[in-house]
Every structure is written in structure tokens, then in C-alpha cells.
Structure 1
Amino acid sequence: MEKEAPEIARHGKATDYITFVIVVSAFAVLTLHTNNCFWFYTGKEDFWFSANIIECVFYFAVPLFFMVSGITLMDFFDRYSMKRFFARRFMKTMLPFLVWSLVAMGIDLYTGKRVWSDITVKSVYQGLTGNGFVSIYWFFYALFIMYMCMPLYAAVEKSKRMLVFSYLVIATFVFNIFLPFLKNMFSSDLNIMFNVATLGGFLIWPLLGWVLHNYEFKRWHKAIIYVVGLAALLLHIIGSYVLSVEAGRVITTFKGYENVPSVLYAVAVFVLLKDVGRWVMERERLAKFVKVVGRYAFEIYLLQFILLDAATRIPEIDRNSLVYRLGAPFVMIPMIMAFTWCVRKIPVLRRIVP
């Protein structure tokens, strides 16, 4: 997660829950990756029933990642200039992305996945710009696009943000997500007249996060959100299972972060974690634990590829087992935290684990 602990602290206790959301999101994304066997279904694997459930339940991880980034960065003009904004983004995300991508390339050379004869200036450039070194780093490219658009969103007058952002989110959901979903479901050839390019792709998430963060829902609002979110989760689980079993391979009709099940479910999870997080952060011991882990949340995203790759080279580890898929994150996260703590003690290297 984009680590903005100083900025979060400025908002006060009412928004301490954001750190909790960051930690849950980091844990969820690692669980998605230890459950990667989900994508290798051929119609015969017994483990896929549980893999499908785990995949769908933790699918909120990436949406929450972008939601929180939108929340923590939306007021950056109050703190520093646009030039400073991009300088900070480079040091906090672009630099670590570049360095650890090259580290991944080095690991591939050491393990024999790549050979030196294939390493050229062009191949390195292609790898860095085309997600060719660390497959799970795809989110960085969406994050960088969000950064480039953030000055436009942040420039909206504060008194008008709720109105403007709500309108953009609703319009984007209807024309970019809901109508294409219906068209796909019913195999319709009807044209969709509009597309909201302003929030194309992942750009709906930072604005949606800001809206959910700043709007206090009533109980009946939350009840509706939870029911709809649960229905979306069940649609994702059951729909993916039925279609995939029939086809003997993974069918992604109900998958995709810009898809109806993902959006409705992520909204429900965020609203739930907003309340749960406030409760947790009011408990001193729990809050202290969450804040400690929160200081390493970005590194959980950044460095997990090393441990995930190492697990593939240890024959004793059954990566299809439920124990590994659900238990590995509890082992890997402390390892990442310990490694990061050590690297941060080295002045020359601390910049690559910000």
C-alpha cells in the first residue's frame, strides 16, 4: 500500500482506521498470491473448490489498496507543491519499484530462469515497462497512472468534491462497469452509448475510496450495502465455480476489478472495515500492533515476490495445500518485517524500503 503514515496521522483519531484497512489489505493481497493455484484449474483439481472461495473472499485487496491511496493523497496540495508531490511519489514508489525489479532480474539470472546473453538495454527497458520481471508488480503501473491523474482530482474545490466525485463514481459504475457486465452476461450486441474516460480502468477506486471515507452512513445504509456486498460475493464465488467446472478451466466472467461483483463487494468490505477499524484503533494494545505492522505494509506488497518465488523451489512445500495457502502469510509477513527492519538500518539502502 502507498505508505503515507505522516499524512494519515494529521487527520486525527477519527481516521486511524485507515492504518487498519492498509494492514488488512496487505494481508489479503499476500493471501491471494499464496492461493495462486486458483489459476491452474483444469477440471480435475480437488483443491480448487477451496481455492475459488479464498480467491473471491480476499478479492477486495487491490481495490482497497487504491481506495486508501486516494484518501491519503487527495489533499496533497495542502501539504506541498505538485513538484514536491511527484518527487515524493518517485522516492516512495518508483525508486523501490525500479530497484526491486532489477533485483528480481538478478535472482532470475542466479536461478537460471534468465541467461546473461538475453540481457540487453532493450530487454531491461521492456521488462521494466512491461511488467516482465515481477508479475505481481502489475499494480505499480496502475498506481503510477493514478498519480498522474491525482493533481486533477485534488484540484477540485473541497466544498464540491462530494458532489463531483459521487457523480463521477456513479456515472463510471453505470457506463463503464454495470452496462458492460449486463452486455456480457446476456451476450448482447447492443451498443453502450457512453464511456467515462475520466475514471477509466482503476481510476474509479481512489475517488470511490474518498467518497466512502468522507460519508458517514446510517445503519440502514450499511445494512443495504452489506446485503448487496454479500450477494456480490456469492455471485462471484458461485458464478465462477459453475462456469469454470463446466468449462474445465478458469472462467473470468465474474472476475476483474472493474466488474460489478468486485465493486459492490469492495464497497461493503471498506464500509465494514471502517467501523471495525475504528473499534480496533480505540483499543490501545490492538492499535499499537496495527500501527507497527502498518509501517511495513508497503514492503509486504513490495517484497513478497522473493518469498513466493523461494517457496516454488522448496519441494517439501505443497503450495496446493490449504495449510500453505492460508498459513504462509502468517509466516511470510514477520519475515518481510524483520528483513525490512534490518535494511532500514543501512543508510544507503533504506530508500528502497521507504
Structure 2
Amino acid sequence: MDVLNVLSCFAVVVLHCTTVVYVNQGNMQWFVSVVLQSLFMFAVPVFFMISGANLVGYRSRYSTKVFFQKRLKRVLMTLVSFSFFIYVLSCFVPAQLGLPSRSFSLFEFINLFLTNQICDVYWFMYSILILYLITPLLACFASNKRLLEYAICLCVVSTAVIPFANRFVSNHDLFSVFAVPYLTGAIMYYLIGYYIVTYSPFEDCADRMRPALLIVAICSVVFMALMTIKTNVPHTVLSGAYSDYDNFYNNYLNLPVLVYSVSLFMLFRSLEPLFQSDKHPFMTVFSKLSSLSFDVYAIHMVFIWALDVYVLHNIFWDAVIRPFVVFVLSLLFAFVLEFLKKFCQIKRTAKV
């Protein structure tokens, strides 16, 4: 979990550093960015799977009240505080950080916050909050393996299989009537993560499954990249005209990304004995970095926006250097924030 959490956190940074794909110009930087987008698209699905693996079975550890106190409080406080922080920056130093210029207004902040217009990548936090709210319902049938498998099948068919099938028929709504409306979206990964960790499919043959899982993951990435290029290039390079970027094959809810993300998750799951062994003391570092991943996610866009003001875009900077610079700066920010939190906590304890 710690290794995947850190890798996914870095992957999110890479995805947001290669958004040149949406310009869809078909130049060399665009091609490289498509490949990177395909390679690192596991980030959000894996985050959802980690959350589901850790939380769907919460009833065995604590009550629903404690669950809401522990989880909702943390995500909601992070969402509100970082949204307010970015909003204040956009009011006082917008030009220096590449932010839209605003005049401070509490009413405007509330309006922007409730419509996710302060930092659009925070959609993940809004989504995870909704998943937390329905987790007590999901936990009621999570202990029943067959019922959970049935729910996952409905989720996969409704969210990934039907849209993928519709892509290849003239009537793109042909099978949509069969989709279950309340079992679509991120809930698919949420339940799959819990199922893989709890019921450990293929655990008896984990060693033999690793090559197959690796091959499936590689093939999925290649398929995603090639199909995305094939879909977009005729509308840009070959036609000589601009067209909106079509990210169907790189969409985190669609079948290729589902296959890739689940294969990767199961591959790392099979490596757990290796990670737990005494031969790898660096796991302590991963555990520490993992604890900071949420704050890294919350702040990384500020550094991306700021660097865009002072550094010109080019293929080497965007694809190679910028992701590492943003990741390191975000980690440093998270370290300092954690230190300040602990310092304030010690001060409060001392006063008591």
C-alpha cells in the first residue's frame, strides 16, 4: 500500500505536468506526453483501490461514528484549508503564481468551493468524500464474498464494459440502457481494491501470476497509447486542422485503464512478502512518504502553476525534469506542514 501510494502520488504529478496532450497538436512533445499519460494513468484508480482496501471493512476496527470522525474530518479539512489557501493566493499574488486574479470575497469563495472552481484537480477529494458517505452501506455486504463479486461485476459492466462496447458500434448508446446507474464511476475501484486485499484472488499462485500480470499491464499501456494516437492524429496532423483531444482510451473509468490498474495493483499485492522482508529497510522511507501523499496531492498544482510562469515549456522540461521538481517541492511543503502541525499540537498539549 505504501509503495503504491507513493508511486501513485508521483504519477498524479506526471499526469498534470503533461497536460499538453489536451492541446492536441500532434508534435513530438504531444506524442511523448500521450505515452506518459498512458503509463501513469493508474494513479487515480490505484488511489481509489487503496482507499477501498483500507476502509470498506472498517466495521471490524471501529464504529461508523469513529470512521466518519477519522476520515471525513481529515479529507474535508484538507479540502477546505487548501482551497482557501489557493483562493487567498489568487487574491493577493495571482500573477506571480499563474493564478486567476480575484478580489477577496467570502461569498465568492463559498460559491467557487461548492462548484470545484478553485482547483479543478480537487475533484478527487470531492469524490472520495462521497465514497466515504456511502461506505457504511457498502460495508453491510462487503463480508459476503459472492454478493461483493456480484456488485463488482455490475460496476465493471456498467462503468467500463458498456462504454467500451459502444465505442465500436454506430449507435453509441446501444447498450447504455443496461447500465446500473448507482453502480458506476469510482465505486468500481473502491470495491475492487477491498476485494483484492480481503479475498486475495490467485494468492496460492502469486509467484506464477506475476509474469502474466506484468505482461497484461504492459500490453494495456501499449494499447492505450497506440489507440489514443490513432484516434487523435487523423484529426490533427493528417488533416492539418485542430480538433479536441479524445482521451477515451486513457480515461480512468474505461476498460483499458481498468485492466492496467487492476493488473498493477495485483502485481504489487503479490510482492508484499518481498516488501515486508528485512532485506528492504527502505520501506520505512516509503511509509513516511506515503503519510505525506495527501498533502502532496493537495499542493502540487500550485507549484505547477508557479513554474509555468517562470519556465518556458519544452519537451525535456515537461516530460523529464518538471515532474521531479514539482514532486520534491510538494514533499518539502508537506514535511514543513507536518512539522508545524506537530509543533502546534505540542504547544496545545503543554498548555493543558
TM over 0.5: yes
Q: Compared with structure 1, are the counterparts of its residues 346 and 259 closer, same or farther at alpha carbon in structure 2 (3 Å cutoff)?
A: same
**2:168 is the counterpart of 1:170:** no
Change (3 A) 1:221 1:277: closer
Assess, with a 3 A threshold, how the Cα gap between structure 1 residues 212 and 307 changes in structure 2: closer, same or farther: same
Q: Is residue 74 from structure 1 mapped to residue 74 from structure 2 by the alignment?
A: no
Structure 1 pair 221–169 and aligned structure 2 pair: CA distance change class (3 A): farther
Deviation (angstroms), 1:68:
0.2
Specify whether residues 318 and 279 from structure 1 end up closer, same or farther in structure 2 by C-alpha distance, changes over 3 A only: farther
* Bigger Cα displacement from structure 2, 253-262 vs 225-234: 225-234
Structure 2 residue aligned with 1:270: 265
- 1:226-248 CA-partner distances (Å, limit 9, x unpaired): 44443332221111101111112
Q: CA RMSD in A?
A: 2.3
The aligned residue for residue 221 of structure 2 is: 233
| Range 176-185 or range 330-339, more displaced | 330-339
Q: Give the aligned length.
A: 327
- 1:345 to partner: Cα distance: 2.9
Residue of 98, 102, 106 corresponding to 2:88: 106
Identity of aligned residues (%): 21
Is 1:141 aligned to residue 126 of structure 2? Answer: yes
**Higher relative contact order (CA closer than 8 Å, sequence separation 6+):** 1
Q: Is the 8 A contact 2:4 2:268 kept in 1?
A: yes
Q: SS at 1:155's partner residue? A: helix
Q: In the alignment, what sits opposite 1:261?
A: 256
Gaps of 5+ in 1: 1-17
2:331 paired residue among 327, 331, 337:
337
Amino acid of the structure 2 residue aligned with 1:180: P
Superposition map of 1:1-354 within 5 A: 18-43=1-26, 45-110=27-92, 111-112=94-95, 113-116=100-103, 119=105, 121=107, 123-156=108-141, 158=143, 160=144, 162-188=145-171, 190-214=174-198, 215-217=200-202, 218=205, 224-248=212-236, 249=243, 250-282=245-277, 283-314=279-310, 317-347=311-341
Please give the alpha-carbon distance, in whole angstroms, between the structure 2 residues aligned to 1:198 and 1:349.
44
The farther-off stretch of 257-266 and 74-83 is: 74-83
1:137 Cα offset (Å): 0.8
Query: How far, CA to CA, are the matches of 1:72 and 1:197 in structure 2?
Result: 25
Assess if the C-alpha contact under 8 Å between 2:163 and 2:176 holds in 1.
yes
In 2, are the aligned partners of 1:105 and 1:133 still within 8 Å (CA)? yes
Structure 2 unaligned segments of length 5 or more: list them: 237-242, 346-352
TM-score under structure 2 length normalisation: 0.85
TM-score using structure 1 length: 0.84
- How far apart, CA to CA, are the structure 1 residues paired with 2:258 and 2:344? 36
The offset of 1:224, in angstroms, is 4.8
Shift of residue 349, structure 1, vs aligned partner: 8.6
Question: Which residue matches 2:349?
Answer: none
